[in-house]
């Protein structure tokens, strides 16, 4: 098990778990807006988006479990989140060019929509997917509480998923442009990274 973390670190990890969950699913909803002008918003586009999200999370979980074996820290997951924020911040300026290039070279079939979804979502959501397994490792002090901690982390993250999906779809998209929302998401992730970089446990170490 990892070394015990302070109460402040515990609260920071759970807060970031919620916020990362919000952004993760919120960005999936935005993905449909980026794809729509080029590939439509039908069931094929949604199948591509959902499949990409699930693949990204699977890769992130595997990568996070590998990082767990190498003395994970809050700084490690903060770095992952910061890189995801930087990638997300580039999306508004580059998405149209990428989507148009894929449409021109591959067409608008299943391969094209999968490529477009991958270009938008795979990297940032894979990085965000590393959060939960590392967070569980940091918060678990004994084997006996591993299940409870895992349930709490994934539960808080899933609540964030629900909030991110509903707020993005019914509140943000109708009132704010998709590109502006993407920038807000990037800022929120950068804020999470900043919280995780704070050395809460410095005195205890």
Cα–Cα distance between 181 and 172 in angstroms, integer? 7
Would the pLDDT of 4 be above 70?
Answer: no
- Residue 66: pLDDT above 80? yes
Q: Which pLDDT score, from 0 to 100, does residue 2 have?
A: 52
Query: What is the rounded distance in angstroms from the CA atom of residue 183 to the CA atom of residue 30?
Result: 12
The runs of H, that is alpha helices, within 72-122 are: 74-106, 110-117
Q: What is the pLDDT of residue 7?
A: 81
- Percentage of the chain modeled with pLDDT above 70: 94
Q: Which helix (H) or strand (E) holds 196?
A: helix 178-197
The residue to which tokens 């990082």 are assigned: 67
pLDDT for residue 84: 97
Question: Distance (Å, rounded) from C-alpha 142 to C-alpha 26?
Answer: 34
Output the average pLDDT for the chain. 91
Longest Cα separation, the chain? 58
Considering the chain, what percentage of its residues have pLDDT values greater than 90? Answer: 79
Residues 153, 28 contacting (CB under 8 angstroms): no
Q: Record the pTM.
A: 0.91
Is 50 exceeded by the pLDDT of residue 102? Answer: yes
**pLDDT score at 15:** 95
How buried is 165 (Cβ within 10 angstroms: 0-12 exposed, 13-18 middle, 19+ buried)? Answer: middle
């Amino acid at each position: 098990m990892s070394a015990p973390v302070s109460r402040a670190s515990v609260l920071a990890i759970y807060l970031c778990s919620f916020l990362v969950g919000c952004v993760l699913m919120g960005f999936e909803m935005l993905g449909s807006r980026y794809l729509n002008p080029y590939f439509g918003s039908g069931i094929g586009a949604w199948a591509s988006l959902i499949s990409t999200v699930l693949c990204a999370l699977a890769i992130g979980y595997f990568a996070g479990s590998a990082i767990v074996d190498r003395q994970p820290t809050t700084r490690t997951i903060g770095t992952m989140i910061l890189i995801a924020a930087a990638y997300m911040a580039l999306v508004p300026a580059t998405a149209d060019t990428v989507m148009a290039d894929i449409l021109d070279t591959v067409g608008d079939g299943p391969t094209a929509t999968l490529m477009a979804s991958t270009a938008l979502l795979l990297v940032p959501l894979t990085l965000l997917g590393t959060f939960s397994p590392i967070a569980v490792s940091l918060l678990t002090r004994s084997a006996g509480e591993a299940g409870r901690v895992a349930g709490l982390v994934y539960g808080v993250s899933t609540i964030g998923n629900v909030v991110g999906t509903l707020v993005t779809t019914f509140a943000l998209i109708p009132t704010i442009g998709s590109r502006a929302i993407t920038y807000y998401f990037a800022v929120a992730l950068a804020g999470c990274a900043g919280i995780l970089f704070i050395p809460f446990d410095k005195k205890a170490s």
